[in-house]
Amino acid sequence: MNNTELEQIVRQVIAGMQGQPASAPKASGPVPKSARVAMLTGIEKFELQEYTLPEIGDDDMLVKVEGCGICGTDAHEYKRDPFGLIPVVLGHEGTGEIVKIGKNVKKDSAGKPLNIGDKIVTSVILKDDPEITMFDLNKQNVGGADVFGLLPDDEVHFNGWFADYIVIKKGATVFNVSDLDLDSRILIEPCAVLIHAVERAKSTGILRFNSRVVVQGCGPIGLICIAVLRTMGIENITAVDGEEKRLEFAKRMGADKTVNFKNHNGIEALAGAVKDSFGGHFADFAFQCTGSPVAHSNIYKFIRSGGGLCELGFFINGGDATINPHFDLCSKEITLVGSWVYTLRDYATTFDFLKRAIAIGLPIKELITHKYPLEKINDAFVTNVKMEGLKIAVINE
Ligand SMILES: [Zn+2]
């Protein structure tokens, strides 16, 4: 053994002791000089723009985007620019592979090691708000924090997931999810919304294994709600929606019974159908997963006295709803909780939920009904706005 070989071995041992990989991990091909982003440049108009990829700072990462789901929030921005962000690179339900990593970046937000080649998702970018921390259970949801894909365009440009690459800056919460497949990783963000909602529901003390639960609205949020309830052992679930196809999917996700509101004229008949689905009982607990004010007004009629309600359908302002405080809330002593986004703790819980859902055979990955390449992002959004599918995703090959 000569000196050079000896030196190499010593270096490897020292690197190993420092927790660094002794050999360079394999990256997915060379990183190009420039890459594309899908810039929303006007209402309902994305343009692919090419920019030079920046040098990575010691606290940053460069991630090769593999895919990103289209969220309701993205669709609102695309249609009307309510956040005033245009020009903007959208996309926050994204995932990809680390191709460059700054020397100060060692671990993800849950303490798992991070290396080149790992698959990650991001959650919020923490500012200086001490109220939003990782492990304070339900202390505060992350609403109001910055998120990649909802940031104004800047000189780097690679700050949203609808792109070939994204630059992850210091302060971002990042999770190593290399043990999940691409479809599951794209579904993490919407699933975290339901993990949080069910945690909120549990805080009422009403939700139990044998509870009769009604889930109103069978879009992606309602369907994931059913899957979360099912994975935690709740079996007596009735799904309410107006589309037979969605109700069928709800059954495959774990709903025991379904009620199509279009088959029942008026709220009394509809409430009667929900009651029949539980063998002559009203629901112990209800989840309201639509953005319709009428649906909010209706759902109280499905719940027994002493029951509970989690309202999570109004992700944005959908207008006012009318209820009768005496009959709907007070005299029945309903316990009502609202839910919005998630805590960072819920985000980490979501990874295990996805594994459990897949393990018990729930068709959770079928929520992704359409996949488009980045260059077809305009078509992807048109499909999303037409509400033809469930979850629409942009996938980079
Ligand atoms: Zn979202």
Q: List pLDDT tens digits, range 74-100.
A: 999 999 999 999 999 999 999 999 999
In the structure, ligand 1 is a single-atom ion and the residues with CB under 5 Å from it are 71
pLDDT, mean of residues 144-169: 94
Q: Rounded to an integer, what distance in angstroms lies between the CA atom of residue 353 and that of residue 230?
A: 11
Query: Is pLDDT at 21 greater than 70 in this prediction?
Result: no
In percent, the amount of the chain with pLDDT more than 70 equals 89
User: pTM for this one?
Assistant: 0.88
Å from CA of 274 to ligand 1 middle:
30
- Segments of the chain assigned to CATH 3.90.180.10: 13-179+365-395
For residue 225, what pLDDT band results from cuts at 50, 70 and 90? Answer: very high
- The CATH 3.40.50.720 domain(s) of the chain lie at 192-338
User: Quick one: average pLDDT of 108-133?
Assistant: 84
DSSP code of residue 53: P
CATH superfamily of 192-338: NAD(P)-binding Rossmann-like Domain (3.40.50.720)
Phi, psi of 246 (to 5 degrees): -70, -35
Ligand 1 centroid to Cα of residue 103, in Å, is 31
For residue 192, how far is its CA from the centre of ligand 1 (angstroms)?
Answer: 10
Q: How far is the CA of 110 from the centre of ligand 1 (A)?
A: 21
CA of 91 to the centre of ligand 1 (A): 8
Q: How far is CA 246 from the centre of its chain?
A: 19
Q: Which pLDDT belongs to residue 193?
A: 94
Q: What are the start-end ranges of the H helices in the chain?
A: 3-17, 72-80, 182-202, 220-231, 244-252, 267-277, 293-299, 344-359, 377-385
The Cα-based distances of 4 to 9, 10, 11, 18, 326 in angstroms read 9, 10, 11, 21, 84
Tell me the CA–centroid distance for residue 25 and ligand 1, in Å.
Answer: 32
- Going from the Cα of 231 to the center of ligand 1, the distance in angstroms, rounded, reads 22
- For residue 278, the CA-to-ligand 1 centroid distance in Å is 33
Q: Counting Cβ atoms within 10 Å, is residue 119 exposed (0-12), middle (13-18) or buried (19+)?
A: buried
Q: Residue 17's pLDDT is what?
A: 47
Task: Determine the distance separating the centroid of ligand 1 and the alpha carbon of 221, expressed in angstroms.
Answer: 11
Architecture of the domain whose range is 13-179+365-395:
Alpha-Beta Complex (3.90)
Which pLDDT score is estimated for 20? Answer: 43
Residue owning tokens 């000089």: 33
